[in-house]
Chain A
Amino acid sequence: QKLFVGDQVLRVTASSEEQITLLKELQDLEHLKLDFWREPVKTALAVDVHVPFAGLQAVKAFLESNGIQYRVMIDDVQMLLDEEKEEMFRSRD
């Protein structure tokens, strides 16, 4: 079973077309295995991206060095999954 321990979901807010372009470049970096829940399209729409733990440092460094605002929306994906699973077991009982 795949685990998501330490994975985070970042909510990224681009403030210019240049930053949107940078986010699209980030999207193309396949080795980071990013999963864009909301894709970079226009500045008015937030971008949500699921970042595996192994790539967190690289992604945050990329965003910070380019002055792109973000916040951590889900701190640990696995913790949420565990809660969800527990809730399902409970309701089944």
Chain B
Amino acid sequence: RDRNTNNFDYASYHTLDEIYSWMDSLEAEYPDLVTKIQIGSSFEGRPINVLKFSTGGSNRPAIWLDTGIHAREWITPATGIWSAKKIASDYGRDPSLTAILNTMDIFFEIVTNPDGYYFTHTSNRMWRKTRSINPGSSCVGVDPNRNWGAGFGGPGTSTNPCSETYLGSFEHSESEVKSIVDFILGHGNFKAMITIHSYSQMLMYPYGYTSTETPNQQELHTLAKSAVDALATLHGTKYSYGSMITTIYPASGTTADWGYLNGIKYSFTFELRDTGRYGFLLPAEQIIPTAQETWLALMKIMEHARDNPY
């Protein structure tokens, strides 16, 4: 087991224990910047941990980042780990990131679905949902990206517990979702929310549950373009972008829509890279290039949130 975050192998996939241990190391190495917060527990009782990056102040405007809500998308926590280390190590060195952290806090949930992630390492590599039990069904789990209170139960969801897009019995039924909802609403000052998935190479903004455009459509569209343009500068990876419903498909009860409907204007969802050849089994050698290019897009969004307070 790596004893500090400099020895950690960022170019390979890691188990839940390894990631949680790495979080402790990061917190220990950057005590003035990083705090690990437990915001809840998963269905099977695992801690739901968030890394808080803060240079002080109280209840500063904040940015939310999450990876790994769909358990099998391993590239997203891997990107999250690299990015969190980048935030910690670049503070005080990179002027733009430093300026963000001097006015805002960043909260980063790296394993948003710990039960599912554990299950993909031990039993079923293709698992996507949570691991909660559905009364009356032998099928386990809810799609946590259909479980949010944003057009809950609308198009693009399934009421069949055996489906990969099962919405759950009621909104926020999943502790993995409810913990975030309670934390963000309790905090009350989030200005950006970025949820990271894989593998369709897209950057999307609300809505997914309706074809109605948001009042901020133009600004979000322009920002999305600048983010994907920045991303492409590193390795030429081409992303499509737009509202969720026009870019990928109708999807209700999603994180990004919930964020927007709850007052977080800069609410986005990423679909990280894949060549279309591997699916969720993106070779480990692609972790660092993926994380590096994603970082450029993340910075564009975070800088915009910093420079356009509301």
Q: Which residues of A contact B (CB under 8 A)?
A: 1-2, 4, 9, 11, 30, 35-39, 41-42, 45-46, 48, 50, 73-74, 77, 80-81, 84, 87-88, 91-92
The listed residue (A37, A73, A81, A91) touching B125 by CB distance below 8 A is A81
Q: Which residue of B lies closest to A27 (CB)?
A: B163
Interface size on B, residues (CB 8 A): 28
Chain B residues near A2: list those with CB within 8 A. 123-125
> Is A88 a contact partner of B162 (Cβ separation < 8 A)?
no
Give B232-282 interface residues, CB cut-off 8 Å to A: 248-250, 276-281
Query: Least Cβ distance of B75 to chain A in Å?
Result: 12
Query: Least Cβ distance of A25 to chain B in Å?
Result: 15
Q: Which residue of B lies closest to A88 (CB)?
A: B13
Q: Which residues of B contact A (CB under 8 A)?
A: 9, 11-13, 122-126, 128, 156, 160, 162, 164-165, 199-200, 248-250, 276-281, 283-284
The listed residue (A45, A77, A91) touching B284 by CB distance below 8 A is A91
> Is B276 a contact partner of A73 (Cβ separation < 8 A)?
yes
* A87-B12, A87-B284, A88-B12 known; A37 vs B123 contact (CB < 8 Å): no
**Leading 3 A-B pairs by shortest Cβ distance:** A91-B12, A41-B249, A2-B124
> Is B279 a contact partner of A48 (Cβ separation < 8 A)?
yes
Compute how far the CA of A30 lies from the CA of B125 in the bound complex, rounded to whole angstroms.
20
